[in-house]
Amino acid sequence: MDMRKLVGRNFARLRRAQGLTQEEVEARSGFSQQYLSGLERGQRNPTIITVYELAQAIGVSHMDLVAPDDDTDRQEA
């Protein structure tokens, strides 16, 4: 399991579910839109503090960002 891709997928899904754009998350979190885009594409390796801060910015638990998703189950099968 590639944790970078998992966190990115979860972040993108949860951000959209909250009705937030990357630009809105940028304003809430201080992380640039370019960073957020790279994160969502699985190209960034966020620290645990970053995961926590991003979760706070979109109103979810940090555990939601690292929870296995349906794609993880299919990749491991």
* Domains of the chain by start residue, with CATH: 3-72 (1.10.260.40)
CB 9 within 8 A of CB 66: no
| pLDDT attached to residue 75 | 56
| pLDDT attached to residue 18 | 96
Low-confidence ranges of the chain (pLDDT < 70): 72-77
Pick from 61, 44, 43: which is nearest to 52 by CA?
Answer: 61
| pLDDT attached to residue 77 | 47
Rounded to whole angstroms, the Cα distance separating 17 from 76 reads 26
DSSP E strand boundaries for the chain: none
